[in-house]
């Protein structure tokens, strides 16, 4: 898959998540968060008002530190496709 195709699929997956109105499971959201942050090269600190949520987000980011931006995009796409196909 070319870089432009990957970018298009990634943006489509992001839109799919943003357009979804039902709540997602917390573990799914954390994985999405980490892959999205890595894929978009956004290393800002988590900004929740609750310290426990920031701790979970920081841990999720730590778990994806060794993958590339392209790998993060592909993982994000795969995660979204799997969720919408199987509901988990």
Neighbours of 22 (CB within 10 A): 4
CATH assignment of the domain containing 65 = 1.20.80.10
Domain extent at residue 9: 3-86
- Tokens 């942050």 locate to 37
Per-residue pLDDT at 47: 77
Alpha helices, DSSP H, located in 1-88:
3-19, 26-39, 51-63, 69-86
What does the block give as tokens for 87?
A: 């509901």
Q: Running along the chain, 88 residues long, what does each successive block of 10 average in pLDDT?
A: 91 96 94 96 80 90 94 97 87
Nearest-angstrom CA–CA distance, 68 and 35: 10
User: Using an 8 Å Cβ cutoff, are 87 and 19 in contact?
Assistant: no
pTM for the complete prediction?
0.90
Nearest to 38 by CA among 73, 11, 4: 73
The count of domains in the chain is 1
């Amino acid at each position: 898959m070319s870089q432009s195709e990957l970018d298009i699929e990634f943006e489509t997956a992001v839109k799919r998540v943003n357009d979804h109105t039902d709540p997602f499971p917390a573990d799914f959201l954390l994985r999405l968060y980490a892959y999205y942050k890595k894929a978009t090269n956004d290393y800002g600190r988590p900004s929740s008002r609750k310290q426990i949520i920031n701790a979970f987000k920081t841990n999720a980011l730590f778990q994806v530190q060794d993958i590339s931006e392209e790998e993060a995009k592909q993982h994000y796409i795969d995660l979204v496709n799997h969720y919408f196909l199987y509901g988990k």
